[in-house]
Amino acid sequence: MRIVFFGPPGSGKGTQAERISKRYNLHHLSTGLLLREEIHNNSELGKRIRKIVESGHLVDDETVNEEVFSKVSVYDRFLLDGYPRNLFQAESLDAYLEEEKKPLSGAVFITIPDAEAIGRLSGRLTCSKCGFIGKQPLYRPGDKCIRCGTPLIERNDDRTEVIEQRLVHYHNFTKPLEKYYHDRLLIIDGIGTVEQVALRLKEALSIWE
């Protein structure tokens, strides 16, 4: 199984991607974590990414593609979490996988309304090391992550005005990929508990087992 995993900010795609990866023995490749690892390792690619990020710009498609392709070339079974984010990346990925003779099984979109996304993300605290997420007021900025002990922070991305901007970007660039993947697409309702959404995913993914 080789799948790409999407959803608007706050849809729970990261949580579900992790569970699905374990269930089906897939390598979980999160582009956000991959890019942060490159920066942390101070690789040549990481140095380029750091300069882009510190300049306040988004990492360009070619750089993201380079990072993703270097990882998927190693694995036969994988789940790409949060990539591709636009049509260019999707077409580039298909072209690369066709050359590697490892076509995608398909794409999974977890959907929630915008109001739900804003409600879920507002007041969210994140561990910059392992990705653990906690909500205020149960957790406060600076509290230690229950997984790895790293202090929790409120990311700029999780402020209400930034969340709204992220949703606009999602609707303009990522959601149109539903049409691109139309014949390889599973749409999953993201409303409900983690277990309820996981059950929907399990039932839907049975077609690719």
Counting the structural domains of the chain, the total is 1
CB atoms within 10 A of CB 168: 11
More confident residue, 164 or 112: 112
With respect to residue 107, please indicate whether it lies within any of the assigned structural domains. Answer: yes
What is the model's pLDDT at position 136?
82
Sequence-ordered list of residues with C-beta below 8 angstroms from that of 117, at least 6 positions apart, any chain: 8, 9, 10, 11, 163, 167
pTM score of the predicted model: 0.79
With respect to residue 164, please indicate whether it lies within any of the assigned structural domains. Answer: no
**pLDDT tier at 183 (50, 70, 90 boundaries)?**
very high
**pLDDT tier at 56 (50, 70, 90 boundaries)?**
low
Q: What share of the chain is helix, strand, coil (3-state, %, to 5)?
A: 50, 15, 35
Cα(82)–Cα(95) distance, integer angstroms: 18
More confident residue, 46 or 22: 22
More confident residue, 64 or 93: 93
Measured at the alpha carbon of residue 147, what is the angle toward residues 108 and 189, in degrees to the nearest 5? 20
With respect to residue 73, please indicate whether it lies within any of the assigned structural domains. Answer: yes
What is the model's pLDDT at position 185?
97
With respect to residue 156, please indicate whether it lies within any of the assigned structural domains. Answer: no
With respect to residue 15, please indicate whether it lies within any of the assigned structural domains. Answer: yes
Minimal CA–CA distance to 2: which of 96, 104, 89?
Answer: 104
Residues of the domain holding 90:
2-112+173-208
Q: Is the pLDDT of residue 18 over 80?
A: yes
Q: What is the CATH number of the domain that holds 188?
A: 3.40.50.300
- Taking only the tens place, the pLDDT of each residue in 97-108 is 999 999 999 999
Q: How far is CA 124 from the centre of its chain?
A: 16
With respect to residue 58, please indicate whether it lies within any of the assigned structural domains. Answer: yes
With respect to residue 144, please indicate whether it lies within any of the assigned structural domains. Answer: no
Identity at 151, one-letter amino acid code: P
CB atoms within 10 A of CB 63: 16
Q: Is the pLDDT of residue 201 over 90?
A: yes
According to DSSP, the residues that pair with 125 across neighbouring strands are: 134
Identity at 202, one-letter amino acid code: K
What is the model's pLDDT at position 122?
81
Q: How far is CA 102 from the centre of its chain?
A: 21
**pLDDT tier at 159 (50, 70, 90 boundaries)?**
confident
- Portion of the chain with pLDDT greater than 90, in percent: 60
With respect to residue 28, please indicate whether it lies within any of the assigned structural domains. Answer: yes
- Portion of the chain with pLDDT greater than 70, in percent: 98
Q: Is the pLDDT of residue 42 over 90?
A: no
8 Å CB contact between 187 and 111: yes
8 Å CB contact between 93 and 70: no
